[in-house]
Amino acid sequence: MSKRVLFAVLLLTLGVIGQCAAAQSMIELRIGGKTQSFSQGALLARPDVAEIHVPADVAYGTSMTYRAVPLADLLGSATLPTDSVLEARATDGFAAQLPMDLVRNRDPARAVAWLAVEDPAQPWPKLPGKPVSAGPFYLVWAGEEAASVRSEQWPYQIAQLATQPSPSARWPVLGIDPKLPATDPVRAGQSLFITQCLACHRLNHAGSADTGPDLNVPMNPVEYFQPAALRRYIRNPASVRDWPGRTMPAFPQDQLSDREIDLIIAYLAYMAQRKVGR
């Protein structure tokens, strides 16, 4: 082989390597005021990366195996306010609010959070009904209580993880009257709403998500849905109306019970009387 051919092959190889490096996605971590960014390759090269098996993957609806980094290792031990949450923002506008005690747990007797990292050379399969995979970064759960983690606490296509004040402190317009009894259903409904609904929707313009519409202004769903239709819509939107581009998923009983849907509706009905300016 001539030197000219060898040189051309070398340039081609370097070009391919450069393209692969350039194609790698980055994830940004803003933890306790410190900002870091990691590429897929950097995370996959960490000494704490491990292969984990997820028997009941929420996004894929089947068992999956990933190379992943313990999320607690990435978050570190920075001292944070007691009401802090970890906000996971995805490229599609999804923004989950995750309790810090949940994401920092390392005890396998409970649920343990892992940041699964898609290898650009071995991409994951496409999500059911979607043209993309869950990558490049997907928060998955292992441990004995992984099944107890709610569906909206499995964010995929994550672009940023950032510590934030609790949603109720960050957005007071989500709040309820502190005089309400501790046992009032509206309190439980507020907690469920923040976990299950605020990841896609805003309410009173409050929230980080950009996927679904605001659920209080200009109108609250309780104002235009019959009660039975609203329950059915939350359970399975396509059973009420469907359209190209619909993103709201169905919530089976094991992810959201009838009682929990009623609690969310109780909170929505309460907030319909506490609208902010349009």
CA proximity to 100, closest of 134, 71, 125, 122: 71
Domains, the chain, in order of start with CATH, read 25-165 (3.90.420.10), 169-271 (2.60.40.420)
User: What's the pTM value of the predicted model, to 2 decimals?
Assistant: 0.89
| pLDDT tens figures, 226-247 | 999 999 999 999 999 988 888 8
| pLDDT tens figures, 189-228 | 999 999 999 999 999 999 999 999 999 999 999 999 999 9
Tokens matching residue 215:
């659920």
| pLDDT tens figures, 146-188 | 999 999 999 999 999 999 999 999 999 999 999 999 999 999 9
How far is Cα 229 from Cα 235, in angstroms, rounded to an integer? Answer: 10
Whose tokens are 């509706």? That residue is 265
Q: What is the mean pLDDT of the chain?
A: 92
Binning the chain into helix, strand and coil, the percentages to the nearest 5 are 35, 20, 45
Is the pLDDT at 257 greater than 90, yes or no? Answer: yes
Give 39's strand partners. 26
Dihedrals φ, ψ of 117, to 5°? -120, 125
How far is Cα 201 from Cα 191, in angstroms, rounded to an integer? Answer: 14
